[in-house]
Amino acid sequence: MLSTEPSTPLVVLDLLGIFVFAIAGALVAVRKNLDVFGVLVLAGITGLGGGVLRDVLIGRTPPAALVDWRYLAVPLVAGMVAFVYHPALGKVEPSINVLDAFGLGLFCVTGAQKALDAGLGPAPAALLGMVTGIGGGVMRDVLAGRVPAVFRGDLYAIPALAGAIVVVVGSYLDSVPFAVVAFTGGGLCIVWRLLAIWRHWQAPVPTGPASV
Amino acid sequence: MLSTEPSTPLVVLDLLGIFVFAIAGALVAVRKNLDVFGVLVLAGITGLGGGVLRDVLIGRTPPAALVDWRYLAVPLVAGMVAFVYHPALGKVEPSINVLDAFGLGLFCVTGAQKALDAGLGPAPAALLGMVTGIGGGVMRDVLAGRVPAVFRGDLYAIPALAGAIVVVVGSYLDSVPFAVVAFTGGGLCIVWRLLAIWRHWQAPVPTGPASV
Amino acid sequence: MLSTEPSTPLVVLDLLGIFVFAIAGALVAVRKNLDVFGVLVLAGITGLGGGVLRDVLIGRTPPAALVDWRYLAVPLVAGMVAFVYHPALGKVEPSINVLDAFGLGLFCVTGAQKALDAGLGPAPAALLGMVTGIGGGVMRDVLAGRVPAVFRGDLYAIPALAGAIVVVVGSYLDSVPFAVVAFTGGGLCIVWRLLAIWRHWQAPVPTGPASV
């Protein structure tokens, strides 16, 4: 989503990230046999949901996604592309997952920064950075009738939280420029997420029998 | 939900639409074997959820449904009626679906207009008009543990979006009175929805095998 | 959640209530085989979700849970405790349910009072008191992929609503001190909930065949 003073390159990056997230969301909808409307909604929710949730929680309404029409147009296009070309897209899904990691790295950084800009403390800002990155996917999974993938071992949220924490810590280091902090945080998230995909890292599950 | 300057006939229409939506929501709860509290909550969520979501997104808090007690009383009554008389109501469900189409036409118009009043641009206003119409049903289905019906072929959201688009376009035509625009948009939504019920029109689903 | 002028004892009570709710939420996550992140999120959602929803609906953003870091720390600790010690905690779940009733009684009282403080009328304030008590558990169940327990016969919401109604009614009785009202409302909720657990009281379900 847009930074407080969005520069053109950042907006382009932001829209690219939303596009990738939206493609991933639309593919979930296709696999669940949803209709064209469901595909478009899941594309939009996955691409924009995390940022909208963050904006509502920090009281920044209407959310950025409802102020700039390009934020609605991008998931619409992504959803239509996925609706038509899903067999081809499904075959290159490993590549989509790699691009998705870049989107995650971007959103955890911009999300944490916006929460700091809104005056939130360090712990909530880091949390909202992570929420910006993963919130859309969680909503997508709930709407598609499945338990969110981020709760089932997929190492996705913890890299996003780590990236957001870097941004929060960096904001207290006056001597370090924001660009350095942003690249460090985003890079940490992206590298960790890519390693998790590559090495099949999983988040730990509880051990021992669950009482009923 | 209430227009910016609610007139008595509009409030009555609004409450009637909420009543019909709430009945439909309560019947879903009955079929899911929920208890009386679940029936009342699903009645309330179906009747009011779309408008509450819209109000939260445009920053109009507390939402209209939490300011005027009649907006809470109507779904409460509808839920109790459905709790007791659901066998009879289930038999006249085709008639309920027809009334539901009128509620949809009303809510997409008033929702889009309220979004415009809040200063939103044309694309977000049309989107929020649709959200006002379908949002409550989506929340109901998620709470009832099923994938939202509007994502599974039911031609429901697209007529609502069409009606909202008419309102948005009409707001740029200074020479056309609001009543004409509202009747055109609402009428388009209602007729399209009724034709979809009558002719069993379905939204298209993706073709070709979904990759796994 | 915090009252308008939180005193230290009230904050401590509030954090204790959140802790108990979070433990209960984490145990649901363990039973659903979620990973450590899912356990922590469900702990946090169960402990804080009702208050966050109430704050968003009354326009009090950012919500109290995102302003005071202790509100994030408590469910984090509770989630980690449950992640490690869930077999032992599962065995004492009847005791957790008793403590949970005390949390419910606390939250319905503070939630209704905060809604009144925000200027809401009596019916919405009572509703939001109940929402503060049950909202987190509903969100937890939706995220865990099950129909909310409060809709399936569990007598949980109605005691919370009763407690909130006492607070609302008491706010109109100038001669009765708030402490008396709060203890009466919270006590009613707690006793009713404990009796429901002890005597296996269930909320009524619709009778007669549900039409399909």
Domain ranges of chain B: 8-199
Q: CA triplet B176, B179, B182: central angle to 5 degrees?
A: 95
- Rounded mean pLDDT, C119-143: 97
Of A34, A52, A93, the CB nearest to B151: A34
For A161, name the nearest residue in chain C, comparing CA atoms only: C37
Q: What are the tokens at A188?
A: 């940490």
Name the CA dihedral angle for B189, B193, B196, B199, rounded to a multiple of 10 degrees: -100
Chain A residues with CB under 8 Å of C34 CB are 147, 151-152, 205
Alpha carbon distance, N-terminus to C-terminus of chain B: 42
Q: Which residues of chain A have pLDDT under 70?
A: 1-6, 211-212
Alpha carbon distance C142, A146 (integer Å) = 10
Which residues from chain B sit within 8 angstroms of residue C202, using beta carbons? Answer: 35
Q: Which residues contact B157 (CB under 8 A, 6 or more apart)?
A: A37, A41, B130, B133, B134, B150
In Å, how far are B90, B102, B151, B203 from B200, measured between CA atoms? 19, 18, 15, 10
Q: Which of B29, B36, B56 sits opposite C56 (nearest CB)?
A: B56
**Are A138 and C143 inside 8 Å of each other by CB?**
yes
Which residue is listed with tokens 């979930």? A28
Comparing C-alpha atoms, which of A97, A85, A7, A104 is closest to residue A47? A104
Of the candidates C124, C147, C211, the beta carbon closest to that of B90 is on C211
* pLDDT tens per residue across span B39-80: 999 999 999 999 999 999 999 999 999 999 999 999 999 999
* Gap between the Cα atoms of C66 and A111, Å rounded: 14
Specify the pLDDT at position A158: 96
Average pLDDT for residues B1-18, to the nearest whole number? Answer: 74
Chain B: partners with 3+ C-beta pairs within 8 Å: A, C
**A-chain residues within 8 Å CB-CB of C89?**
211
Distances (CA, A) of A72 to A1, A41, B59, B63: 12, 11, 19, 24
Cβ contact B1:B65 at 8 Å: yes
Task: Compute the distance between CA of residue A23 and CA of residue A15 in angstroms, rounded to an integer.
Answer: 12
Residue B89 backbone phi and psi in degrees, to 5 = -65, -35
Chain-centroid distance, C-alpha A141: 13
Distance from CA of A57 to the nearest CA of C (A): 6
Shortest CA gap A143–chain B (Å): 6
End-to-end Cα separation, chain A, in angstroms? 42
The C-alpha of B200 sits at a distance from chain A's nearest C-alpha, in angstroms, of 15
Q: CA C182 to CA B140: how far, in whole Å?
A: 33
Mapped onto helix, strand or coil, the DSSP state of residue B154 is strand
What is the ipTM, given to two decimal places? 0.93
DSSP, residue by residue, C108-163 = HHHHHHHHHHTT--HHHHHHHHHHHHHHHHHHHHHHTTS--GGGTTBTTHHHHHHH
Q: Which residue of B has its CA nearest to C158?
A: B37
Separation between Cα atoms, residue A186 and residue A167, nearest integer Å: 9
Q: How far is A150 from chain B (nearest CA, A)?
A: 18
CB contact under 8 A, C32 and A59: no
- Residue that is written with structure tokens 């996550």 in the block: C29
Helices (H), B144-177: 157-170
- Chain-wide mean pLDDT for chain C? 93
Give C120's contacts (C-beta < 8 A, 6+ positions apart): B62, B66, B67, C58, C128
Neighbour count for residue C209 (Cβ, 10 Å): 10
* Helix, strand, or coil (residue B167): helix
Chain A neighbors of B212, CB-CB under 8 A: 31, 90
B198 to chain C nearest CA, in Å?
A: 19
More confident residue, C143 or C7: C143
Measured between beta carbons, the chain B residues lying within 8 angstroms of C123 are 69, 72-73
* Model pLDDT, residue C208: 81
Which of B59, B145, B210 minimises the CB distance to A62?
B59
Considering only the beta carbons, identify the residue of A31, A39, A62 that sits closest to B124: A62
- Closest partner residue to B37 among C58, C124, C158, by Cβ? C158
Nearest to A47 by CA among A84, A81, A76: A76
pLDDT band at C2 (very low <50, low <70, confident <90, very high): very low
CB-CB under 8 Å, A61 with B56: yes
Put simply, the answer to whether B144 touches C146 (Cβ < 8 Å) is no
Cα–Cα nearest to B103, from B200, B196, B24: B24
Identify the closest residue of chain A to B155 by CA–CA distance.
A37
Helix (H) or strand (E) holding A52: helix A36-57
DSSP conformation letters of B41-105: HHHHHHHHHHHHHHHHHTT--S-GGGTSTHHHHHHHHHHHHHHHHHHHHHHTHHHHHHHHHHHHH
Is the C-alpha dihedral spanning B83, B88, B91, B94 positive or negative?
negative
Cβ neighbours of C38 in A, within 8 Å: 148, 150-152
Six token digits for residue C99? 């403590």
Q: Which chains touch A (3 or more CB pairs under 8 A)?
A: B, C
Q: Quickly count: other Cβ atoms within 10 Å of residue B108's Cβ.
A: 35
Closest approach of A210 to chain C, Cα-based (Å): 6
Closest CA–CA distance from residue B192 to any residue of chain C (Å): 25
Q: CA angle, B124 as apex, C63 and A132 as ends, to 5°?
A: 40
- Is B147 in contact with A145 (Cβ distance < 8 A)? yes
pLDDT at B29: 96
pLDDT number for residue A10 = 80
Binned at pLDDT 50, 70 and 90, residue B3 comes out as very low
Assess whether the previous peptide bond of A62 is cis (omega < 30° from 0).
yes
Min Cα separation C88/chain B (Å): 30
Q: Contacts for B67-72 with beta carbons within 8 Å, 24 or more apart?
A: B67/C120, B67/C121, B67/C124, B68/B2, B69/C121, B69/C122, B69/C123, B69/C124, B70/B11, B70/B15, B71/B1, B71/B15, B71/B18, B72/B44, B72/B48, B72/C123, B72/C124, B72/C127
> What pLDDT, in 10s, does the model give residues A129-154?
999 999 999 999 999 999 999 999 88
> What's the one-letter identity of residue C17?
G
User: In chain A, which residues have their Cβ closer than 8 Å to the Cβ of B58?
Assistant: 61-62, 66
Kindly state the average pLDDT of the residues B99-104: 96
In whole angstroms, what is the distance from residue A64 CA to residue C62 CA? 17
Nearest C-alpha in B relative to A61: B59
pTM equals 0.95
